[in-house]
């Protein structure tokens, strides 16, 4: 199997791979907090692992010169993972805002929304723009929640809010036609990953502070 001939596709694949490894590392770090709040920790670990798997699929889709029908098939599980990531992130925000009982009640509805998104997106042409709209709606809601929690002094909420703000910035970059040369050429996809990586670090740090607040 040959590498993709377009340089920006290769840098996108490389940043996707780095994002996948970072998410795996953060999931391992977060697992150490599992005894403090098992259900909550498991929820956020699921967010990170889903994003890691989606990034791994993106590495293959962007990095290899695949036949178009195989590349198209990869987008189905990739969109499912991304849809579930956003849905579980929203549930995590609701958990911190309203508690575990409400979050558990919301979870099936969030999963249903993610499944609907992943089913509808390919039917609408498979444009990544649909994911960005879906993500933006959920992230803006989560940002409002964590900004409010930060004002109330919930540990880690400020870091999580900053992570969400960076994620929204990454989505804006993704939706643009921006391209830059930073030693290597990057298009909007690669730049999206570069902005998303510090967001993941901030999210992990915020969650660790949040989970340790009672210990």
Residue 1 lies in a domain: no
Of the two residues 87 and 214, the one the predictor is more confident about is 87
For the ranges 2-11, 27-36, 41-50, 168-177, the one whose mean pLDDT is highest: 41-50
- Does 138 have pLDDT greater than 90? yes
Provide φ and ψ at 126, rounded to 5°: 70, 20
For 187, the 3-state DSSP assignment is coil
- Does 123 have pLDDT greater than 80? no
CB 157 within 8 Å of CB 146? yes
Q: Using one digit for the tens of pLDDT, what is the confidence trace for 104-114?
A: 999 999 999 99
Domain hosting residue 196, numbered range: 7-211
pLDDT of residue 86: 95
Residue 2 lies in a domain: no
Query: Which of 26, 169, 214 has the alpha carbon at shortest distance from 161?
Result: 169
CB 20 within 8 Å of CB 196? no
Distance CA 61, CA 191 (A): 17
CB 190 within 8 Å of CB 11? yes
Long-range contacts of 185-192 (CB under 8 A, 24+ apart): 185/7, 185/8, 185/11, 186/8, 186/11, 186/12, 186/15, 187/8, 187/11, 187/12, 189/8, 189/12, 189/62, 190/8, 190/11, 190/12, 190/14, 190/15
Residue 88 lies in a domain: yes
Residue 51 lies in a domain: yes
Q: Are strands 180-182 and 184-186 parallel, antiparallel or unpaired?
A: antiparallel
Residue 14 lies in a domain: yes
pLDDT of residue 129: 72
Q: What percent of the chain has pLDDT over 70?
A: 96
Of the two residues 91 and 75, the one the predictor is more confident about is 91
pLDDT of residue 214: 53
Residue 188 lies in a domain: yes
Global pTM reads 0.93
- Does 100 have pLDDT greater than 70? yes
Which spans in the chain are helix H?
7-31, 38-63, 68-98, 100-123, 128-151, 157-175, 188-211
pLDDT of residue 76: 86
pLDDT of residue 126: 60
pLDDT of residue 8: 94
Query: Which of 110, 171, 163, 112 has the alpha carbon at shortest distance from 136?
Result: 171
Q: Which two tokens stand for residue 175?
A: 């939706």
pLDDT mean across residues, the chain = 92
pLDDT of residue 215: 45
Distance CA 106, CA 163 (A): 23
Residue 165 lies in a domain: yes
pLDDT of residue 127: 65
Q: Give the total number of structural domains in the chain.
A: 1
């Amino acid at each position: 199997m040959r590498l993709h001939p377009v340089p920006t596709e290769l840098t996108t694949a490389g940043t996707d791979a780095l994002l996948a490894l970072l998410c795996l590392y953060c999931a391992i770090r977060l697992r150490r907090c599992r005894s403090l709040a098992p259900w909550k920790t498991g929820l956020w670990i699921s967010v990170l692992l889903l994003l890691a798997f989606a990034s791994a699929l993106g590495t293959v889709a962007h990095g290899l010169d695949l036949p178009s029908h195989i590349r198209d098939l990869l987008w189905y599980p990739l969109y499912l993972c991304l849809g579930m990531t956003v849905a579980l992130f929203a549930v995590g925000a609701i958990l911190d805002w309203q508690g575990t009982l409400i979050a558990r009640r919301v979870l099936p509805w969030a999963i249903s929304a993610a499944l609907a998104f992943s089913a509808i997106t390919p039917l609408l042409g498979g444009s990544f723009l649909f994911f960005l709209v879906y993500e933006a709606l959920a992230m803006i809601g989560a940002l409002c929640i964590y900004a409010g929690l930060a004002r109330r002094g919930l540990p880690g909420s400020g870091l999580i809010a900053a992570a969400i703000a960076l994620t929204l910035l990454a989505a804006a970059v993704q939706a643009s036609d921006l391209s830059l040369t930073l030693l290597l050429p990057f298009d909007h996809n690669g730049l999206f990953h570069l902005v998303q990586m510090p967001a993941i670090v901030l999210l992990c740090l915020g969650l660790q502070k949040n989970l340790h607040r009672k210990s």
